[in-house]
């Protein structure tokens, strides 16, 4: 069952990807450009964005720090003035493994600023325009780490859990107004964010594989786009366990 309008043709659709200078965001930008979308890429790394535009004619670069509320407002106003946005995806993220015994307050707050506060900046700047145009799709990239608490995910997991809850609330409010909403919950993907992990990452995907899953989910009208299925379905099932069983199982498999 499709919870959002299916996207059958990307030709000419204006797509704004925030956090598209590397990893999943960059791979998604490349894939959508290849399917005819008018891709707008944003991130802090202006040089990387310019390289993308040079290699993908017709795309647009808009350098942006999503933790800067005024900069996000200015960017959103500029893009809305140029025409309707058909899809906006928030892919920006910060990740560093953290446990309670090694709490780093500054880095924990950095997770909050990039993974969650930036989304609020985007919503405040963009929702009035999306509601006024009465169509379009808003997508947030969360993680399977947001399903339940996990070791080494002290700072990262709570921000991703918040995004799942936020997307559900947004869907209830916005879908009756003609807007699509989706939340993307990847497993492990080989990106600069995960490169520093010193533990096994089951079912590791490439950014290109992740991008294909995301675009396929948008095309199917999915609400939660989770992958790889053999891993994400298992973690979704774990949400049904009582805490006693869940904690015991996690300790058994992680050794933590």
In this predicted structure, the answer to whether residue 212 has a pLDDT above a threshold of 70 is yes
Report how many domains make up the chain: 1
Burial of 235 (0-12, 13-18, 19+ CB in 10 A): middle
Asked if residue 1 belongs to a domain, the reply is: no
Is residue 39 packed enough to be buried (19+ CB in 10 Å), middle (13-18) or exposed (0-12)? Answer: buried
**pLDDT (tens digit per residue) in 19-31:** 999 999 999 999 9
Residue 44: pLDDT above 90? yes
Residue with tokens 């890429």: 41
Is 136 within a domain? yes
In a domain, residue 3? The reply is no
Range of the domain at 187: 14-254
What pLDDT does residue 217 have?
98
Q: What is the pTM of this model?
A: 0.94
| Confidence band of 189 (pLDDT split at 50, 70, 90) | confident
CB-based contacts of 126, cutoff 8 Å, min separation 6 = 76, 80, 85, 88, 138
Average pLDDT, integer, range 155-172: 98
2 in any annotated domain: no
For residue 234, give the CATH number of its domain.
3.40.50.720
Answer yes or no: is 55 within a domain. Answer: yes
Q: Indicate which residues carry an active-site annotation.
A: 156
> Is 128 part of any domain?
yes
**Does the pLDDT of residue 203 top 80, yes or no?**
no
């Amino acid at each position: 069952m499709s919870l959002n309008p299916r996207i059958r043709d990307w030709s000419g659709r204006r797509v704004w990807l925030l956090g598209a200078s590397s990893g999943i965001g960059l791979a998604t930008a490349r894939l959508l450009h290849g399917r005819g979308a008018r891709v707008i890429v944003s991130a802090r790394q202006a040089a990387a964005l310019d390289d993308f535009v040079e290699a993908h004619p017709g795309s647009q670069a808009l350098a942006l720090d999503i933790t800067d509320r005024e900069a996000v407002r200015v960017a959103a106003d500029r893009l809305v003035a140029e025409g309707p946005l058909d899809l906006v995806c928030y892919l920006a993220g910060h990740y560093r493994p953290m446990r309670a015994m090694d709490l780093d307050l500054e880095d924990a707050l950095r997770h909050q600023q990039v993974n969650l506060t930036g989304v609020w900046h985007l919503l405040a700047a963009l929702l009035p325009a999306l509601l006024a145009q009465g169509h379009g799709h808003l997508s947030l990239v969360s993680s399977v780490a947001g399903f339940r608490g996990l070791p080494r995910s002290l700072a990262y997991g709570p921000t991703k859990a918040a995004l799942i809850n936020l997307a559900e609330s947004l869907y209830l409010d916005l879908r009756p107004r003609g807007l699509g909403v989706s939340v993307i919950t990847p497993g492990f993907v080989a990106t600069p964010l995960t490169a520093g992990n010193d533990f096994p990452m089951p079912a590791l995907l490439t950014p290109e594989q992740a991008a294909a899953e995301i675009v396929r989910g948008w095309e199917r009208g999915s609400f939660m786009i989770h992958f790889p299925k053999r891993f994400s379905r298992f973690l979704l099932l774990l949400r049904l366990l009582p805490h006693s069983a869940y904690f015991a199982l996690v300790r058994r498999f992680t050794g933590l």
